Structure 1
Amino acid sequence: MEELQRKLASRNQEVIQLLDDITASSHANEALGSQVNQLKINLEESVRQMEMTSDECDRLKNDLDKAHQAIEILQTENAEMKSQLESLEGLQQKEAKIDNEIMDIVDDKIKEWKAMVLGKDKEIESYKIKIQNLEEKLAQLKLEPHQSSALELKELLEEREREIVYLSNELKEATLDMDANVMLMEDLQKQLSSGRLEQLCFMIDW
Structure 2
Amino acid sequence: MITLYHSPNSRSTSVLALLRELGAEEKVTIRRVEIPRADGSGARDPANPHPEGKVPFLTNGADTVRERGAIFTYLCEIFPDAGMAPMPGEEGRGAFLSWMAYYQGVIEPVFVLNMLGLDNPRLQATFRGLPEITEALTAALSQGPWLLGESYSAADLLIASPFLWFPELCPDHPVVRDWVARAGERPSALWAKQRDDA
TM-score band, normalised by the shorter chain?
under 0.3
The structure in which a higher percent of residues are helix is 1
The structure in which a higher percent of residues are strand is 2
Return the structure number with greater relative CO, CA threshold 8 A, min gap 6.
Answer: 1
